[in-house]
Amino acid sequence: MRELNQRWRGEGRPTDVLAFPAAQDGVAVPEPTGSAQPAHPFLGDIALNLVAVERQAAEEMPQRLARLWLGREQPQPGGGWGPLEEATFLLVHGVLHLLGHDHGEPAAEAAMVAEEARLMAPFLRPPWRR
């Protein structure tokens, strides 16, 4: 992940998730062959750092819940925030990047966080069960 982050973002440190849109910098996504169009377009690739998932699952739980609950009363997680929840959050975050969301500016970040909260809501309903 450090190498990918350096090559594509110019940052010489590892990161938890990277999203690579299918069409960027003027590179067109190849059209499917044949007459059948895919039900869903290919958005791109997501690279997930599983070492970060494991570490962040324990370290990031309070921050993740605060981010996803947006000030609402938080449930007491019965199963905790583990690697499965952290990986799910990071995949949602990556897909949102592929859909064009960003968090560089406060308004854009607020919109992205609201969408993360909406998409993660089914995973945050108590009781958390795996």
For the whole model, what pTM was predicted? 0.77
DSSP secondary structure string, the chain?
-HHHHHHHH---S--SEEEEESS-TTPPPPPPSSSPPPSS---EEEEE-HHHHHHHHHHSHHHHHHHHHTTSPPP--SS-S-HHHHHHHHHHHHHHHHTT---SSHHHHHHHHHHHHHHHHHHHSSSP--
Sequence ranges of the domains in the chain: 49-124
pLDDT, averaged per 10 consecutive residues of the chain (130 residues), comes to 93 94 62 58 90 88 75 54 88 93 92 91 64
